[in-house]
Structure 1
Amino acid sequence: MIPLLHELADQLAAHDDAALRRTRRVVDTPCGPEAIVDGRAMLAFASNDYLGLAGHPALADAASEGAKRWGVGAGASHLVSGHTSIHEELEQRLAAFVQMDAALAFCTGYMANIAVMPALLSRGDAIFADRLNHASLIDGAQLARADMHRYPHGDVDSLARLLEKTPTRRRMIVTDSVFSMDGDVAPLANLLELAERFDAWLLVDDAHGFGVLGPQGRGALAEAGLRSDRLILMGTLGKAAGVAGAFVAGAATLVEWLKQKSRAYIFTTAAPPLLAHTLMAALDLIEQGDALRAQLDALRRRLHDGVRLTRWRLLPSRTAIQPIVIGDNAETMQVARQLWDEGIWAPAIRPPTVPAGTARLRISLSAGHTEAHLDRLLEALHRCEAARA
């Protein structure tokens, strides 16, 4: 083994010692609460399929229809020859759904987030970012080469002080709507007020709110009743929508600028048009999905009403993301393994994804779960904690 590989092997061993190595599970069934994982029947609380649409027969039918109509590849980037009429229709539908002037489709949410900031900001500008923002927002900020100012999680007073004392040409406030590891919702109305006061953009990553929050699942901005040309909305289409992809929505001039200047948009092949065809059907299910959202909320309330933990802590999330903070990395991995042995898949989340000392189980609820599924989870959690008392 060459010295460079020896160095990597030593670093991997250090990850093992700190209980930080990530492993992949192999799933042999469509996404859903009951799955075959690594050859075992498991009850899964591990996906972001919040409305249970990823395995929906209507979407499978739409994908088949889309493949027959459009084939399986776009063949080029959107700005060369890969932009089909179904891509165009999807962007128009997304813009109307989130009540924005225009939308631009991307292959993934990560690509969307690394596209926006570098297109709008550069050296001499400033980004003001929540400390718990998703990694893709952090990477997008670094690519922009603007000055980065991170404010304590959800602390609008600290943010206001930072904005007031930071002279700059252009400013952007950047936040998740629903924070993916805590499940709490950003103070979006307060953030928009600060954006108005300090002449800033407000970029909101609504990956975990789109489809779940707001009337007809239109997202966190719609739930808060916010409209402004300063708003830039990023939504993903592989979570509650159950398919794949992402979009950025905002003022028409903004979206046209992104189309011209976002390298992650310009220099990549368009997503297969069959996915856009499928997403049109997914939007119908989201818009008509009040019963699914009600089921999701009922499961969340049942979890909070039924949990009886004494050492560990269920965070007060009102979303589908329900974290149970254990603290120690090794103990968190042991608990996840015990649950796994009982046939329950609840992922262990450790630093650097979450701050040191806050390792946790990330319980993701889906409208596809039943009350019996949740009761089984609660019983197993109580047994696991009692075994470590």
Structure 2
Amino acid sequence: MDSIFPQYQLNRTIFAEGTEHLFFSGTAYLGISASSEFSAYLKEGIDIYGTNHGLSRINTVRLRVFEEFEIYFAHHAEAQKTAVYSSGFLAGHAVVSLLENKADAIFVAPHTHPAILSAAIQNQIDPAHNWIDSCIKFANQNEGKQILLIANAVDALKPEIHDFSWVRALSKNNNYTLLLDDSHAFGAVGEDVFGTYKRWKELPVDLVISGSLGKGLGLPAGIILGSHEFIRELTKQSIYRGASPPPPAYLWAFLQSQEIYRKQQQKLKDNIQFFKKLSQNLDLQTTKEDFPVFRFDDANLLQKLQEHQIIISSFPYPSPNDPPVHRIVISAWHEKEDLLALVKVLKI
């Protein structure tokens, strides 16, 4: 599928070669970037804080909105503490650079996002081994080890929402840290928009969650969630102390927009349920729990959608030489008539 370069914001439709197309791609699961209500709060936030804040968080001039955002997010995610960064990749790099040096052994799930993998860890990954079996075997054969488990909470390409309940069965003779990337979970998985921390916080591990807020939540920022002690240690790093934070206007707008987020998440859930019912007899791969991604393998179907002015996600993965992964991505910005039009073409 050829690249498209629109000159305006993404929404439920975009123009390609002068023709309007329905748009079922991207990661704007809640459609926040196209919300006029959120934009109004954002403009107000810019009037208050300006377009950016170039001072680091440890400077003598500090804005309270960063801490207010962190406290609010931690409370609703049911984490002890959070730290906000300017991107999910920076947050991931910060957290893994701290954790990998403390680990005696590291086990990595397949297709884990490189944001939470250092170069050294990537070089150690053996795709021929089952990471869960390898972890269980190592844990049973050792005592007193610091074991680091790394995975995505959600595989948005497969798609799959991962289950980490198997960790409960690990030997109690070691200490475990579970690092999850929640980038595709924020806004899209669970009862609220705050990700999977509360889902896994009772596991017998030190739980750390990192991720981008730029997908479902539409914020140019990253975040790390964990214990008081871990976040305090994290914020002593130069990567935190010397880096500029995200634009404060977005964080302020988020705090003012909780009703908007609740409304958009409910609309996303309604859209997913509606599309599932319409497409239940089609050969689409999706998750048992609601998630807004539906995958198919038929290249002819991709061509048919393009002929009917419908754009979906399609690109080679994981390497440029691999076959394209074809995915339909549902968003809260879609209307029922969009989904009906999509299914009509899928059934031709």
Q: Give the TM-score taking structure 1 as reference length.
A: 0.78
Unaligned 5+ residue runs, structure 1? 1-21, 327-331, 384-389
Matched residue SS, 1:253:
helix
What is the match of residue 209 of structure 2? 233
Cα contact 1:66–1:277 (8 A) shared by 2? yes
Moved more, 247-256 or 40-49: 40-49
Cα contact 1:33–1:43 (8 A) shared by 2? yes
Q: Describe the superposition over 1:112-165 as per-residue Cα deviations: whole angstroms up to 9, x where unpaired.
A: 11211111222873321111212323xx33256995566867x63443124445
Question: Are 1:345 and 2:325 an aligned pair?
Answer: no
Shift of 1:176: 0.8
What is the match of residue 10 of structure 1? none
Q: Describe the superposition over 1:154-208 as per-residue Cα deviations: whole angstroms up to 9, x where unpaired.
A: x634431244457895321011111121121111222355386631100111111
Instruction: Give, as a single letter, the amino acid of the residue that structure 2 aligns with 1:314.
Output: Q
Shift of 1:351: 2.9
Moved more, 251-260 or 79-88: 79-88
What is the match of residue 175 of structure 2? 199
Cα contact 2:38–2:260 (8 A) shared by 1? no
- Residue of 293, 298, 301 corresponding to 1:321: 293
Q: Which has the higher helix share?
A: 1
Unaligned 5+ residue runs, structure 2? none
Cα contact 2:28–2:217 (8 A) shared by 1? yes
Instruction: Give, as a single letter, the amino acid of the residue that structure 1 aligns with 2:48.
Output: R
- Name the CA shift for 1:99/1:130 in 2 (closer, same or farther; >3 Å): same
Question: Are 1:266 and 2:241 an aligned pair?
Answer: yes
Cα contact 2:70–2:81 (8 A) shared by 1? yes
Instruction: Give, as a single letter, the amino acid of the residue that structure 2 aligns with 1:231.
Output: L
- Name the CA shift for 1:172/1:363 in 2 (closer, same or farther; >3 Å): same
Question: Are 1:105 and 2:84 an aligned pair?
Answer: yes
What is the match of residue 17 of structure 1? none
Question: Are 1:142 and 2:146 an aligned pair?
Answer: no
Q: Partners of 1:354 and 1:177 in 2: how far apart? A: 24
What is the match of residue 96 of structure 1? 75
Q: Which runs of 4+ in 1 moved over 6 A?
A: none
Q: Partners of 2:75 and 2:301 in 1: how far apart? A: 44
- Name the CA shift for 1:314/1:287 in 2 (closer, same or farther; >3 Å): closer
What is the match of residue 84 of structure 1? 63
Shift of 1:60: 0.3
Shift of 1:73: 1.6
Q: Partners of 1:364 and 1:82 in 2: how far apart? A: 42
Instruction: Give, as a single letter, the amino acid of the residue that structure 1 aligns with 2:285.
Output: L
Cα contact 1:130–1:152 (8 A) shared by 2? no
What is the match of residue 246 of structure 1? 222
Shift of 1:92: 0.8
Matched residue SS, 2:118:
helix
Question: Are 1:54 and 2:29 an aligned pair?
Answer: no
What is the match of residue 186 of structure 1? 162
Instruction: Give, as a single letter, the amino acid of the residue that structure 1 aligns with 2:249.
Output: L
What is the match of residue 339 of structure 2? 374
Q: Give the TM-score taking structure 2 as reference length.
A: 0.86
Q: Partners of 1:176 and 1:280 in 2: how far apart? A: 26
Instruction: Give, as a single letter, the amino acid of the residue that structure 1 aligns with 2:136.
Output: A
Q: Describe the superposition over 1:326-364 as per-residue Cα deviations: whole angstroms up to 9, x where unpaired.
A: 4xxxxx4x754553342111121313259945x321211
Cα contact 1:215–1:222 (8 A) shared by 2? no
Shift of 1:218: 3.4
Question: Are 1:114 and 2:93 an aligned pair?
Answer: yes
Question: Are 1:64 and 2:40 an aligned pair?
Answer: no
Q: Describe the superposition over 1:21-41 as per-residue Cα deviations: whole angstroms up to 9, x where unpaired.
A: x96422234332122345431
Shift of 1:62: 1.2
What is the match of residue 28 of structure 1? 7
Q: Partners of 1:237 and 1:158 in 2: how far apart? A: 32
Q: Partners of 1:254 and 1:225 in 2: how far apart? A: 15
Cα contact 1:101–1:252 (8 A) shared by 2? yes
Instruction: Give, as a single letter, the amino acid of the residue that structure 1 aligns with 2:132.
Output: V
Higher relative contact order (CA 8 A, sep 6+): 2
Q: Partners of 1:245 and 1:50 in 2: how far apart? A: 16
Question: Are 1:286 and 2:257 an aligned pair?
Answer: no
Shift of 1:381: 3.4
Q: Partners of 2:154 and 2:111 in 1: how far apart? A: 10
Q: Partners of 2:321 and 2:145 in 1: how far apart? A: 32
Q: Partners of 2:286 and 2:321 in 1: how far apart? A: 15
Q: Describe the superposition over 1:313-334 as per-residue Cα deviations: whole angstroms up to 9, x where unpaired.
A: 53445411212134xxxxx4x7
- Residue of 242, 250, 259 corresponding to 1:275: 250
Matches within 5 A, 1:122-133: 122=101, 125-133=104-112
Q: Describe the superposition over 1:40-93 as per-residue Cα deviations: whole angstroms up to 9, x where unpaired.
A: 311111121212222112210111111110111212222335742111111111
Instruction: Give, as a single letter, the amino acid of the residue that structure 1 aligns with 2:66.
Output: H
Pairs aligned (count): 347
- Residue of 53, 60, 72 corresponding to 1:74: 53
- Name the CA shift for 1:292/1:145 in 2 (closer, same or farther; >3 Å): closer
